[in-house]
Amino acid sequence: MIKQASYLNIKGISVCLMIGLMMLNGCATQSEIQKKTISDSNQVIREEIIAHAMWLIDKDYRFGGSDPETGFDCSGLVSHVYMKVAGIRLPHNAAMIAKEGKTIDRSQLKIGDLVFFNTMKRTFSHVGIYVGDGKFIHSPKPGSEVRVEDMTKSYWARRFDGARRVKTAQE
């Protein structure tokens, strides 16, 4: 019950954040948008990636899925979010997504970075999006939904394969 309430709270906050970002974007003039530094733009994109991913909490797992209406598998969730928010087309395969980004150390993780795990006795068999504070959002397995997990829990800590940073158009 507490987990359900915290997910609903996270989802509610995410929706509010997403609406706020859209309203702020809509109020800015083109010249104000152009004045943003690359790092400002990058941070905004990272926040939008997290907001959109959080909006998808509780969507069903579906093998091969990449659509909010029908459900997601892990790579489908990641590729959907990156395409919708940043216009970046990623493969629909965790191992292939791992080849797309720049390898980063766990200590360098920023929100919106990708985290990979060995969940099927093969490298980079699972992917999620880092949301901060040692947590990530993903679509874990059949019979479950998109949710946030703690990477420090023993299951995920033992299976951590690495992290990647995908460059956005502003980087």
pLDDT score for 24: 43
Compute the average pLDDT of residues 119-139: 97
Secondary structure (3-state) at 150: strand
- Residues 125, 95: contact at Cβ < 8 Å? yes
Assign 113 to helix, strand or coil: coil
Q: Report the chain's mean pLDDT, rounded to a whole number.
A: 83
User: Which amino acid is residue 50, in one-letter code?
Assistant: I
Q: Where are the alpha helices (DSSP H) in the chain?
A: 2-27, 30-35, 38-55, 74-86, 94-100, 154-159
Task: Please tell me the predicted confidence (pLDDT) of residue 11.
Answer: 57
The pLDDT of residue 112: 96
pLDDT digits (tens, 9 = 90+) for 12-39: 555 444 444 444 444 444 334 333 333 4
pLDDT at 48 exceeding the cut of 70: yes
Q: Is there a contact between 127 and 162 (Cβ–Cβ < 8 Å)?
A: no
Specify the pLDDT at position 42.
Answer: 87
Task: Please give the positions annotated as active site.
Answer: 74, 126, 138
Burial profile 32-66: b = 16 or more Cβ within 10 angstroms, e = fewer: eeeeeeeeebbbbbbbbbbbbbbbbbebbbeeebb
**Beta pairing partners, 162:** 116
Q: How confident is the model at residue 114 (pLDDT cuts 50, 70, 90)?
A: very high
